[in-house]
Amino acid sequence: MSDKLYHECHEVISQGKAILEDLQQWGFETVNKNAIEVPVFDVSGPLKKSAPPVLPETLLGLERSLAGCHRCSLAEQRKNIVFGAGNPQARLLLVGEAPGHEEDVRGEPFVGEAGKLLDKILLAMNLSREEVYICNVLKCRPPENRDPQDDEIAACEPFLQQQLELIKPEVIVTLGRFAAHALLKTATPISKLRGQWHEYEGLPLMPTFHPAYLLRNPTGKRPVWEDMKQVMQRLG
Ligand code: URA
């Protein structure tokens, strides 16, 4: 079987499994979603164009390959997978931590209080949500909004890597420590990382504070604006 066909089969099976899960949630108790086994691809490690093509060719394909994901235990309590949203050709890509309650319900990133603040930051940069792309390190909500765990980050990481590979933004902004640590593979505190340019797979990356942190600590707004001014300068 060709890799392309294999991947298409994977997508179809994943979608079928997701539909069966929905039916089960709606009360069709005789449905056995485990009757279908979704093949698990090895999507670990940075993606190389020359590597066997397990990479979906589009963001939509990648999103579909996540349907019904059970790669970590967050699947048990989530309402929706929050894949990401925005312009697939965005010049600026922002990466947050994980969906919260509101995002879990709506299946969209940054639609709660932190999201409103993020909208204001974007507006001040003369950017709209439609122009940028926004996603998270984790695609499912951790219970009670607890911190992401290492195994959850590891399970979800290939999808973030593929989003970045497919979008290839001109600039990445990480919001908060988890996104910066996940992409930069460092444990340096966010207060030391922010405000300086870093690199992820050859792309410039600016770490800054998370909007949820700014809601609790408004004095962080000024440094974030300094960071965003550097981003605007870079984007010309
Ligand atoms: N916080 C995040 O990090 N991501 C969201 O999508 C919402 C809140």
Could you write out the DSSP letters of every residue in 26-60? Answer: TT-TT--GGGSPPPPP---S---TTS-S-S-SSHH
Residues 26-70 have pLDDT tens digits of 455 454 444 444 444 444 444 444 444 457 889 999 999 999 999
Q: Which of 80, 102, 110, 145 to mutate to test the pocket of ligand 1 (most atoms within 8 A of CB)?
A: 110
Nearest CA to ligand 1 atom 7: 110
Q: Which residues of the chain have pLDDT under 70?
A: 1-54
Q: Which of 94, 101, 103 to mutate to test the pocket of ligand 1 (most atoms within 8 A of CB)?
A: 103
Residue 134 Cα: closest atom of ligand 1: 6
pTM for this predicted structure: 0.79
CATH fold group of domain 71-235: Uracil-DNA Glycosylase, subunit E (3.40.470)
* Residues having CB within 6 Å of any atom of ligand 1: 96-100, 103, 109-110, 112, 114-115, 136, 212
Confidence (pLDDT) at 185: 98
Cα of 53 from ligand 1 centre, angstroms: 31
Helix, strand or coil, per DSSP, at residue 99 = coil
For a pLDDT cut of 90, what percent of the chain falls above it?
A: 76
Cα of 173 from ligand 1 centre, angstroms: 14
Domain ranges for the chain: 3-36, 71-235
Give the C-alpha separation, 79 to 6, whole Å.
28
φ, ψ for residue 8, nearest 5 deg: -60, -40
